[in-house]
Amino acid sequence: MEIKRFPKSEAAYEAGKKVIPGGVIGTRRPENFVPGAYPLYIKEGKGAHFKDLDGNEYIDYLAGFGPVLLGHAYEAVDNAAIERIRRGFCFDLSQDIQNTLAEKVIEFIPCAERVIFVLSGSDATTAAIRLARAYTGRDKILKSGYSGWHDWCVPIPTGVPAKAREDILPFIYNDIASVETAMEKHKGQVAAIILTPLAHEYNHPLEFPQEGFLQKLRDITKAEGTLLIFDEVRTGFRLARGGAQEYFGVTPDIGVFGKAIGNGYPIGMVTGSNDVMMANQKAYISSTFFYNSFPMTAALAVLKEIEGENVLPHIWRLGEKLQKGMKDLLSKYEIPAEVSGPPPMPFLTFKSDKSDPQKKHQARRRIFFTEVIANGVFLHPFHHWYIIYTHTDEDIEKTLAVMEKAMMKIKAQVP
């Protein structure tokens, strides 16, 4: 008799379908993983581990899709937030924690002279383009990479009037000619170029900027009076203390952050040069919960951990160990797949082959992710992964052992 691994998850899903459209919304839908092989609900977590609703345990490599930099239920952060919550956090006026946090951000981030705190990455990218339009008096935006779910940038445009997107002009990452052509065509009209400084498209290997690409964007934007915006919602506080802009050595006019700065608490931020950020005196950027102080308190605790502990070197070292181990396994078992990403954001993509009508890469991917999840390693099949500060060498070694089992199965079943 087959033992069911997820009876509680499945029952909750059935109950969910009666009250939540589709049972589960957005990126957490089961079809975004391997349906049937992945649990549907999580009960609790500690550090880099969690338990699903049925009590199965996992090493977490998705980190809540990125925010959990330090670990689940990380005491230094939670204690600071809880202490704030107990004294009230939702008031009629601002609280001065925002100054302390902004001062710390300005120490960390190269482009930061002024900071606005918001609640999410989408809030932050939307605020950034509003500031850019207010500052330049122009409407058009050149864009590459995911920027969130708001009307101007949502990847699936159903429900969004074409008008809301007509000034958003996509360009191809690492293709400077596509930028130059668009800048020439819309000369004097482009408010900003916004991009993820490291490309991390869904279901694609991560892509580093080619030599000179980011600097070229910096030069073009300067010459045209256009602002350069780096969307560092994923790279921030991971690639380096000062994000991708520090790591790649190119300073944008505006940097947008979210996810890791709060270790799971709802916070995003827009940072930039003084004169650009002062455009908020003309534009409207406000929402009831932007002023709540417990996410800011949590973020300050996160930044103190990054400062005082060995956070980024540890994440880099473990990411390197995982990536090296994966590459060794791929060559040992001769599996056509690519390890990509900077070590804090590793990924594995099974290579498709146009002359492969049987779509072997899909079968290999299914075997791999079904096997790893069954052995307690939570990796996303289509979205890159994250290393968490509370991962240990033992976690990485266990993960590699499980990956080896998966690769042996692939070798046997889809050579």
Which is nearer to ligand PLP, 147 or 226 (by Cβ)?
147
Beta carbon of residue 334, minimum distance to ligand PLP (angstroms, whole number)? 33
Nearest-angstrom CA–CA distance, 331 and 381: 20
Beta carbon of residue 371, minimum distance to ligand PLP (angstroms, whole number)? 27
CA nearest neighbour of 140 among 224, 61, 64, 62: 224
Which is nearer to ligand PLP, 105 or 233 (by Cβ)?
233
Give residue 411's Cα distance to chain centre: 32
Which is nearer to ligand PLP, 145 or 325 (by Cβ)?
145
Nearest-angstrom CA–CA distance, 270 and 130: 11
Question: What are the distances in angstroms from CA 191 to CA 116, 218, 317?
Answer: 19, 14, 39
Beta carbon of residue 87, minimum distance to ligand PLP (angstroms, whole number)? 27
CA nearest neighbour of 127 among 219, 184, 192: 192
**Residue sitting closest to ligand PLP (CB):** 121
Beta carbon of residue 96, minimum distance to ligand PLP (angstroms, whole number)? 25
Nearest-angstrom CA–CA distance, 30 and 287: 32
CA nearest neighbour of 147 among 255, 233, 27: 233
Which is nearer to ligand PLP, 229 or 337 (by Cβ)?
229
Which is nearer to ligand PLP, 126 or 370 (by Cβ)?
126
Which is nearer to ligand PLP, 45 or 121 (by Cβ)?
121
Beta carbon of residue 288, minimum distance to ligand PLP (angstroms, whole number)? 17
- The residue ranges that bind ligand PLP (CB under 6 A) are 120-122, 125, 145-148, 196, 231, 233-234, 258
Question: What are the distances in angstroms from CA 102 to CA 131, 274, 358?
Answer: 18, 13, 54
Classified as helix, coil or strand, 260 is helix
Beta carbon of residue 376, minimum distance to ligand PLP (angstroms, whole number)? 25
Instruction: Classify strands 49-52 and 337-340 as parallel, antiparallel or unpaired.
Output: unpaired
Beta carbon of residue 177, minimum distance to ligand PLP (angstroms, whole number)? 24
Which is nearer to ligand PLP, 234 or 380 (by Cβ)?
234
Instruction: Classify strands 168-170 and 377-378 as parallel, antiparallel or unpaired.
Output: unpaired
Beta carbon of residue 78, minimum distance to ligand PLP (angstroms, whole number)? 20
What tokens appear for 358 in the block?
């049987």
Which is nearer to ligand PLP, 97 or 119 (by Cβ)?
119
Beta carbon of residue 111, minimum distance to ligand PLP (angstroms, whole number)? 16
Beta carbon of residue 185, minimum distance to ligand PLP (angstroms, whole number)? 26
Question: What are the distances in angstroms from CA 110 to CA 40, 69, 113, 148, 305?
Answer: 40, 21, 8, 23, 19
Which is nearer to ligand PLP, 122 or 297 (by Cβ)?
122
Which is nearer to ligand PLP, 33 or 368 (by Cβ)?
33
What tokens appear for 181 in the block?
């052509």
Q: What is the dihedral of CA 122, 127, 133, 135, to 10 degrees?
A: -150
Query: Which contacts of 201-208 are long-range, i.e. CB under 8 A and separated by 24 or more positions?
Result: 201/145, 201/146, 202/146, 202/382, 202/383, 203/349, 203/382, 203/383, 204/349, 205/338, 205/340, 205/341, 205/347, 205/349, 206/340, 206/341, 206/342, 206/345, 206/347, 206/384, 207/173, 207/174, 207/340, 208/342
